[in-house]
Amino acid sequence: MYTHFYKLKENPFNVTSDPNFLFMSKGHREALSFLIYGIEERKGFLEITGEIGTGKTTLCKALLNKLDKRVKTALVVNPDLSEVQLLECIAEDFGLDLPPKANKLTIFRLLNKFFISQLSLGNNVALIIDEAQNLKPFLLEQIRLLSNLETEKEKLIQIVFVGQPQLRDKLNSPSLTQLRQRISIRYHILPLQMEETGDYIRHRLHVAGSDGQIHFSREALEEIYKFSEGVPRLINQVCDRALLFGFVLGTKTVTLDIVKRGVDEIRGLVYEHNK
């Protein structure tokens, strides 16, 4: 609605997980570096956690774009499945053709054959599971068994768990001790700091095609940070509302009052123009 007014190519604050908009905060840079290192060095299991809205899914998509072409990947975004459904999802994302009504054993054999063939070609294999906190314990154990497909010297598959902090609690369960002990790299993504919040907003505006005329006052940025506590998804929500109000008012300067109006709307409060 407001993109033409601000001369933008697209909405800068969509909440979709577009890797083109990924802002590389200190935490995101470190998480991405750990992931690339862990996969390329065949470290087996890796774990990335973060609160809701901290950009984990966007980071997953950015990782897929950053990995070497010799790394064959599968991404599972909805792990709330049965054992066979999960294995089917993994196999199909790796590009395998499954026979009709393939059972668990058949899929395991096909995956093992695929992993070995990739190793012989000098390739690596990585499985990324987003929203991994939703994996039931028996599925986590199933994935651990999948990781047993290895040679004497090399792990045939690297498995990345990405999820909310509840994932750590689930993995600390005594029943998952064997899996937990195999996780070689763990990283927790923290929300943005105050200065990073301003940089984040300017970054997204730039990617969306801003010519620099859109200005957020210091007070506006402080209010955004206060409301969002540095969580990118919440920053996007309030900035989207702020640009909408700026469009209605015919201004390209986002003030404290405009941000407060956006925050009130998000919280479901009725804004009284004369208060």
Asked whether the beta carbons of 139 and 83 are under 8 A apart, the reply is yes
Residue type, 109: R
Q: Is-above-0.85 flag for pTM?
A: yes
| Predicted local confidence at residue 272, as pLDDT | 47
Convert the pLDDT of each residue in 173-230 to its tens digit. 888 888 899 999 999 999 999 999 999 999 999 999 999 999 999 999 999 999 999 9
pLDDT over threshold 90, residue 122:
yes
Q: What is the pLDDT of residue 269?
A: 59
Task: Give 75-98 pLDDT, tens digit per residue.
Answer: 999 888 899 999 999 999 999 999
Query: For 140, how many CA atoms within 13 A lie in the half-sphere containing its CB?
Result: 27
pLDDT of 1 > 80? The answer is: no
Helix axes 194-207, 218-228, angle to 10 degrees: 110
Three-state secondary structure along 225-239? HHHHCCCHHHHHHHH
Which pLDDT score, from 0 to 100, does residue 147 have? 85
- Other C-beta atoms closer than 10 Å to the C-beta of 165 total 13
| pLDDT beyond 60 at 274 | no
The whole-number pLDDT of residue 271 equals 46
CATH number of 192-266: 1.10.8.60
Half-sphere exposure of residue 178: CA atoms within 13 angstroms, side-chain side: 11
CATH architecture of structural domain 26-189: 3-Layer(aba) Sandwich (3.40)
For 255-272, how does the pLDDT look when each residue is reduced to its tens digit (9 = 90+)? 999 999 999 999 885 444
As given in the structure block, the two tokens for residue 54 are: 């901290």
Instruction: Indicate where the chain has its CATH 1.10.8.60 domain(s).
Output: 192-266
Q: Report pLDDT digits (tens) over 152-162.
A: 677 899 999 99
Confidence of residue 116 (pLDDT cuts 50, 70, 90): very high
**pLDDT for 214-236, tens place per residue?**
999 999 999 999 999 999 999 99
Q: What's the rounded Cα separation, in Å, for the pair 114 and 91?
A: 9
Distance CA 188, CA 56 (A): 10
Alpha-carbon dihedral 237, 238, 243, 249, rounded to 10 degrees: 130
Angle between helix axes 137-147 and 83-93 (nearest 10 degrees) is 40
Which 3-state string (H, E, C) describes the chain?
Answer: CCHHHHCCCCCCCCCCCCHHHCCCCHHHHHHHHHHHHHHHCCCCEEEEEECCCCCHHHHHHHHHHHCCCCEEEEEECCCCCCHHHHHHHHHHHCCCCCCCCCCHHHHHHHHHHHHHHHHHCCCEEEEEECCHHHCCHHHHHHHHHHHCCECCCCECCEEEEEECCHHHHHHCCHHHHHHHHHEEEEEEECCCCHHHHHHHHHHHHHHCCCCCCCEECHHHHHHHHHHHCCCHHHHHHHHHHHHHHHHHHCCCEECHHHHHHHHHHHCCCCCCCCC
